[in-house]
Chains A and B, each alone.
Chain A
């Protein structure tokens, strides 16, 4: 076997191992009001969704749809932030420079609650890992009698 073939085999093996690690990893994040929790794999696949009963009542209920989308987006951002260095290391790319921490909005009704495991992600247009299912979220919209 020639050296390039060995390298390719090694890369495939390492990619497979990384894929398995990402599939086994779990990332949990919450909506800003802490009432919706989403759990995703390291690949961004949504595994679990929890909605606090308090989210169904009062002023929270009107923003429940937004909260669900936000929790899922936050969990996927955390997964992406965690996996990007590993992907960069595997494919020999330099990781993006660290960015200053973004200011997190603190919910007024729960100032002491612990925040989600959320880290800001710097999107890098030059990166392309299409074999991994890291999905881009857009701002949700609502209208009519929907929340």
Chain B
């Protein structure tokens, strides 16, 4: 199926699984039970007792709400690809990325995608370059192709790409050729281009993506990256910009001033100044996909999702293990169907 077909199918994918069935499914074989709220536990108990809920809060939360970027319909909760490609960002814990690479066999990645689709997530963001080593290079493309062709999977791929100064389009082209519905410049690359005064390269990448009929975005960990794009008048369809609170133990310490892309050894923060991000994004009229909303695993989704949506994100990109998807979907649904203290307009 081509990209257009997948986009269409993605719109139709929202299932009708009701919320209690969903909770029951999510609990079986999972360690998630203890993390559920009282309300979630009551719903689960009702489900087990065969009772029916007519409450508006429960009913309104049935589906993962969707938004649109260009013509592409995208679930507001997007599955991130860092975990499947072995990027754990686990501070100084030296083994975790290795563990991910062993855990996420092709089979496990496809199982995760299937659970995403069953649960109403219709988009995955993953780097076209599937990992650090040569043998991992083809991970993303190989698994998507397998998943789409052999499993009949419909999940959309929004490609993270790493253009280089002397080859802006090569990896973007690879994403286009392999069925991506959109592409964006990876945050670290964009930060580096802007820092070197080469915002023009971001413009070229965006133009190239759009000329090929895909939605185009620019990533960034530093708010000055997004600012530079706006100032330069780059017509991105969306921004990928990190957003998380600083309310976690391993957060940025007072003596840590490095840009995110220079902080690889500690690997513990991805939005140095969230208040500046939030303020600036209020003025930006393009859709915003926020990422690292859980600070790579240190913030509970209940807090991280709420923080991101309340502070302006239109979509969240969240790395998820198979055993986390259903719970994350429940939480995203609840947050979005509840009262949100949000001042930024929805821009998608």
Decide whether A and B assemble into one complex. no
| Chain B residues with a Cβ under 8 A of chain A | none
